[in-house]
Structure 1
Amino acid sequence: MGFSNLLFLWAAILPVIVLLYYFFRKKYKDQPISSTIFWEEVMQETKASPYLKHLQKNALLYLQLLALILFVLALMNPFIKSNQMAGEQLIWIVDTSATMLAGKEESTFEQHKKEMSELISNLNGHPVTIITTGDEPKTVVRQETNVAAIQSAIKGLEVTYEEQQLAKAIDVAQAFIGDMATSIYVFTDSVERGELPIESERIKWVVKGASKELENVAITRFAATAFGDGALALVQLTNESKREKGVQLSLLDHEGNEVAKETILLKAQEEFTKTFENLPLSQGLSANIQVEDDYEADNMMLALLNNNFSQIVVDQQMHQLVQKGFQALTSNVKIAPSDQLKSMSSEAIIVTNQTKLLQQTSAPMVLIGRDDELTKEVNNLVDISDDALFAFSSLEDVYVNAVYPGFDHFETIATIGENPFIQRSSRGDIVILADIQSTDWPLHPSFPLFLWSLQNELVEGTTSLGMFSPNESRAVSLTSGDWSIYSEGDEYIASFTNASQFKAPSKPGFYSVRLNDEQKQFIVQLPSKERTITEGTSFELGSLERNGEEQSSKKSILIWLLIPILVLLVIEWEVQRRRGFTN
């Protein structure tokens, strides 16, 4: 606090003059006389409260002194000095990752939103740009000077549960700097000084970190798979706190029924792993913990029960284009001799032309050609059905000169004239009734896209889309149509028509996509980096100077002195009126 008009300090003599006047004014001596001697009994109440009597007697003095003192302060024009946000413009980078939900009485995210609202009062007309973090950083407002618009943008900020990826947001911020001196505020939970580029002298970094000493117990790993007639699950817990924590762990099936429960006592910084066997089969399982900590988002983890066939084994006799095609999709591809395929069928997807393996193995298969039949020539175009396998691969220009006979009880999803070309068995096997060397299919872009859809269907299964990160955009194997996304509680989330533009919801949980009677499950999982919280710090790097001094603002508080002065004058007038102006 300071004063801009110290010249008026001489006015301090006014309350001194009033005080001296009261010291030297004429005084009277109390003298009891016979006509008033009986008043003493009436005045006992006043005498019982000497301080009140003193205040009543000298009220006018105190009011005048206080009013004059405030008047002197008002003449000197007092102000509150505060550092002004330096620079010609301001950029706010707001972390919207899941760990921003950590906090004791209030989350770090809400604390930062309040800080942003308070900073608005010191903008002084400087433009503000707000950028949120994530895989695709978003510019919420761009060089905005309207305080109401900035305040509205702050209120609309929400946690997206995505990974922080602060470097991407900083790259976006660099595009707005140009030749302008800029103050960049980073509202996050934790960031290292080395992560901020400080080579520019025109940038000042102000980092607002999270509260210290936050406690957290997290589910850091959860996996489940079908095993025989039941399910097998593995759970890993980590206590990041500095003291012992009691944890109630429970496993729930897709319907929300509890299938396992255990009470665990975790020591400080302890990592605990537990395996659950003979669980009932379900489309999915969720691991949940109940614990007193400062971060709840990592207290749940989900898993879809897959078919445990993640590896692809290609018959050594298959054409090189088939082998190379699958190897281009994933590194988990093995080329094996024909006589060893049967022994590998318990742990992999088999790609072969051996028809007998359809009956001898329980593993999903891709049959390309047949070794038990002869081909016949065809002379027609390929006609595909509305099946998810062809969502990204159109076979209209594919030339096929010979096909094998189809299987009687298999579903035909693509034809050449009246002849089956691609079929699906009741258990999900895919059969291509032609040798690759009998077609020009590998020369078309639809060939690797078809293999990708094939792998996606067999690995993930026909009833699920798999696992996604919050707000992840990814092409999925679905037929064209108006698909809708629903939450586990049957709440409508969004719709989409193009399977290549599918975008997962932001909040972790079980979801499903629906089209008429068709439905597929998927889960949105909290990223592993968002399951660990770190102690944050607030700091500043760099400085922007103006005329050799840090920019500052002076906010006058004159109005807050004038109002009480007027109130005191009114009270003083009333006191004087009650006593009588002649006195």
Structure 2
Amino acid sequence: MGFSQILYSWTAIFPVIVLLYYFFRKKYTDQPVSSTLFWAEIMQETRVSPYLKHLQKNTLLYLQLLALLLLMLALMNPFIQQSKIAGSQVVFIVDTSATMLAGKEQATFELHKQEMLSLINDLNGRPITLIVTGHAPTAVLQQETNINAIEQSIQALQVTYETAQMPKALDVAQAFIGNVPTSVYIFTDVLDKMQLPVEKETVQWIVKGAAKDLKNIAITRFAATTDGQTAMALVQLRNDTNEAQETILTLYDAENEELVNEKVALPAKEIVTTTFKELPVTQTITAKIDAQDHYTVDNTQTALLQTTSAALVVDQSLHQLIQKGFQAIQPNVKMVPASQLADNKDAVIVTNQAALLGEMKKPVILFGRDDVEKFEVAGHINTTNDALFAFSNLKDVYVGALYESFDNYKTIATVGEEPFIQLSPEGDIIVLADIEDTDWPLHPSFPLFLWSAEQQLLESTSSLGIFAPNESRVVALAQNDWSVYSQTDEFLSTVTNGILTAPMKPDIYIVRSADEEKHFIVQLQAQERIIEEGTSYTIGALPDNEQEELSKSSIVPWIVLLVLLLLVVEWEVQRRRGFTN
């Protein structure tokens, strides 16, 4: 505490004057009077307590002295010093990951927003830069001084569910810091001091973490597979608390019908894995736990039912470019002699043996034919609007010879008027040319076509898989207008140039065109399912010069309010004694 107007301390003379007045005022002696003799018995209690009698006689004196002393303090302008933002500029780094939603009565993220709004009152014209974390950290504000704009930006912040990736955000902050004295506030849940670049003496790091006693029980892993007859699910639960816990684990199908309801015991700081077999086949299975913890986002997880991935087998007699192309796309591809291809009935076969069409359990990718002669062709390639060509533009590809096409197969690409690529009713993909008769491998469309074919035959045709929040990924979709919708048919975004950007909130979503739809899941990443003990600390101090200030919170208004209250009390005391006295 301090005084900004210490010169007004001379006003202490006024209480001294009042005190002297009471010392030298005219005094009276007690004189018994006949009419007051009967008061003695009534006043007995007061005589027994001389201190109370003294206080009653001198109440006005004490009240007046106290009021004058408070007025003297008010003239001296007392204040309370508080720490204030230091440096010539300020940088806020805000963690927007899913774990920021953890909290007791209020989420850590909301508490941090309130603290940021409080701090901007102490900027005093300093520029502020606001950076939000994520896969690609973004500077929401850059050297902003307008308080209203700063406040609006802070109010608009929201959790994006992405992993923080704090080193990237710190690199972005370094670009704004330079050599200028800077206070960097990091609003996160937990941050290791070793991650901070503390080599600069002109930077003060203030880390605001989460509470230290947050409890969490999470579904850390959930997967479901099917063999076409029944489904099997695996659930992994983690207890991050220091006490044994019990929770109810429930599995739901795509129609939200309950499949499993089981009580699971979780030892302290342990991971428990549970497997469920003979479940009915459904498109999706959702796992939920009824946990009384401080982080609910990781209490639910959904899995797409996927069949066991088929192997990819390539005929050794095919051109080396085809073999190398599939090896680059599918690391587990197998090279098999032509005579042994028929033994791999559960695999997707890449060959030129037309006799295998319709003989295998899985579709076949046919490059050329071994049962007919080829003929020369010339002309431009034309393609239909098929998912195989979502990323493969074949218009500049040269084809010198083709094989005879299959009757009743769908033609999706032609050379002039002749069929070039066909699809069978069973899903086989037929390329009616030998690679050596084309210059296709010299074009980027060749590996992209192989990738699209592999995706179409090995992956589920009704789903696009699992995405991380806000993840952007190239997807194999036909060249239509595709849009992303929520489960409640709310339009969210569009697929542009084959790139799907997932929504930020974990859930099941739908990608829909005019005549087709596919599902995909947005799922929290593994590190967003673990709550660590929060940390708050300060590293570094700026030089003690004009760059560092202390805020002065004046207490004069409270003193004035107290003086007014004393005046009211003094008036009441005087009224009770009688104004004529």
Once the two structures are overlaid, the 10-residue window that deviates more, 544-553 or 478-487, is 544-553
What letter matches 1:84 in structure 2?
K
* 8 Å contact from structure 1 (residues 240, 270) kept in 2: yes
Question: How do 1:233-272 residues align onto structure 2 when only pairs under 5 Å count?
Answer: 233-272=233-272
Query: 1:124 Cα deviation (Å)?
Result: 2.1
Query: 1:217 Cα deviation (Å)?
Result: 1.5
Distance 2:254 2:109 in 1: 31
CA gap 1:150/1:67 in 2 versus in 1, 3 angstroms: same
CA gap 1:403/1:567 in 2 versus in 1, 3 angstroms: same
Write the deviation string for residues 224-275 of structure 1: whole angstroms up to 9, x where unpaired: 1221412222111121211111121122222222222221001012211122
Match of 1:519 in 2: 517
* 8 Å contact from structure 1 (residues 224, 234) kept in 2: yes
TM, length-normalised to structure 1: 0.91
**RMSD of the alignment, in Å?**
3.1
Distance 1:108 1:211 in 2: 8
Match of 1:218 in 2: 218
Distance 1:134 1:127 in 2: 23
Once the two structures are overlaid, the 10-residue window that deviates more, 411-420 or 9-18, is 9-18
Identity, % of aligned positions:
56
1:528 paired with 2:511, answer no
CA gap 1:144/1:36 in 2 versus in 1, 3 angstroms: farther
Query: 1:476 Cα deviation (Å)?
Result: 1.4
Question: How do 1:268-283 residues align onto structure 2 when only pairs under 5 Å count?
Answer: 268-283=268-283
Once the two structures are overlaid, the 10-residue window that deviates more, 76-85 or 521-530, is 76-85
Write the deviation string for residues 150-180 of structure 1: whole angstroms up to 9, x where unpaired: 1211111111111110011111111111221
Match of 2:396 in 1: 397
Match of 1:545 in 2: 543
Match of 2:78 in 1: 78
Distance 1:164 1:89 in 2: 24
Distance 1:531 1:378 in 2: 59
CA gap 1:437/1:16 in 2 versus in 1, 3 angstroms: same
SS of alignment partner, residue 434 of structure 1:
coil
Distance 1:543 1:404 in 2: 78
CA gap 1:437/1:56 in 2 versus in 1, 3 angstroms: farther
* 8 Å contact from structure 1 (residues 480, 497) kept in 2: no
SS of alignment partner, residue 474 of structure 2:
coil
Distance 2:16 2:141 in 1: 56
Count of paired positions? 579
CA gap 1:22/1:313 in 2 versus in 1, 3 angstroms: farther
* 8 Å contact from structure 2 (residues 88, 547) kept in 1: no
* 8 Å contact from structure 2 (residues 358, 426) kept in 1: no
Match of 2:123 in 1: 123
Query: 1:187 Cα deviation (Å)?
Result: 0.9
* 8 Å contact from structure 1 (residues 104, 214) kept in 2: yes
Match of 1:450 in 2: 449
Query: 1:323 Cα deviation (Å)?
Result: 1.2
Distance 2:252 2:258 in 1: 4
Write the deviation string for residues 66-88 of structure 1: whole angstroms up to 9, x where unpaired: 32121121122211111222111
Write the deviation string for residues 279-319 of structure 1: whole angstroms up to 9, x where unpaired: 22222222221111121111122221223226432221121
* 8 Å contact from structure 1 (residues 481, 498) kept in 2: no
SS of alignment partner, residue 360 of structure 1:
coil
Query: 1:365 Cα deviation (Å)?
Result: 2.8
Question: How do 1:154-233 residues align onto structure 2 when only pairs under 5 Å count?
Answer: 154-233=154-233
Query: 1:371 Cα deviation (Å)?
Result: 2.5
Write the deviation string for residues 473-526 of structure 1: whole angstroms up to 9, x where unpaired: 1121223343221112322222344323x2110001100111122111111111
* 8 Å contact from structure 1 (residues 399, 439) kept in 2: yes
Write the deviation string for residues 49-80 of structure 1: whole angstroms up to 9, x where unpaired: x9999998766445423321211211222111
Distance 2:340 2:99 in 1: 49
Question: How do 1:59-98 residues align onto structure 2 when only pairs under 5 Å count?
Answer: 60-98=60-98
Write the deviation string for residues 111-142 of structure 1: whole angstroms up to 9, x where unpaired: 21122122122222211111000001111111
1:555 paired with 2:550, answer no
Question: How do 1:1-40 residues align onto structure 2 when only pairs under 5 Å count?
Answer: 1-19=1-19, 21-22=21-22, 25=25, 26-27=27-28, 29=30, 33-34=34-35
CA gap 1:248/1:52 in 2 versus in 1, 3 angstroms: farther
SS of alignment partner, residue 559 of structure 1:
helix
Once the two structures are overlaid, the 10-residue window that deviates more, 50-59 or 538-547, is 50-59
* 8 Å contact from structure 1 (residues 309, 349) kept in 2: no
1:473 paired with 2:472, answer yes
Write the deviation string for residues 309-345 of structure 1: whole angstroms up to 9, x where unpaired: 2643222112111111122224232222233434444
SS of alignment partner, residue 474 of structure 1:
strand
Once the two structures are overlaid, the 10-residue window that deviates more, 421-430 or 527-536, is 421-430
Write the deviation string for residues 11-31 of structure 1: whole angstroms up to 9, x where unpaired: 345335435544665457586
CA gap 1:162/1:59 in 2 versus in 1, 3 angstroms: same
CA gap 1:342/1:284 in 2 versus in 1, 3 angstroms: farther
SS of alignment partner, residue 505 of structure 1:
coil
Once the two structures are overlaid, the 10-residue window that deviates more, 364-373 or 7-16, is 7-16
* 8 Å contact from structure 2 (residues 89, 181) kept in 1: yes
Match of 2:418 in 1: 419
Runs of 5+ unmatched residues, structure 2: none
Once the two structures are overlaid, the 10-residue window that deviates more, 299-308 or 193-202, is 299-308
Once the two structures are overlaid, the 10-residue window that deviates more, 78-87 or 25-34, is 25-34
Distance 1:379 1:568 in 2: 106
Write the deviation string for residues 451-477 of structure 1: whole angstroms up to 9, x where unpaired: 222222223322211111100111212
CA gap 1:522/1:54 in 2 versus in 1, 3 angstroms: farther
Once the two structures are overlaid, the 10-residue window that deviates more, 465-474 or 322-331, is 322-331
Match of 2:293 in 1: 293
Distance 1:273 1:356 in 2: 47
Once the two structures are overlaid, the 10-residue window that deviates more, 165-174 or 421-430, is 421-430
TM, length-normalised to structure 2: 0.91
Query: 1:95 Cα deviation (Å)?
Result: 0.6
* 8 Å contact from structure 2 (residues 87, 547) kept in 1: no
Write the deviation string for residues 540-570 of structure 1: whole angstroms up to 9, x where unpaired: 1121113399642323332332344355446
Distance 2:366 2:474 in 1: 25
CA gap 1:9/1:154 in 2 versus in 1, 3 angstroms: same
SS of alignment partner, residue 297 of structure 2:
coil
Runs of 5+ unmatched residues, structure 1: none
Query: 1:417 Cα deviation (Å)?
Result: 3.3
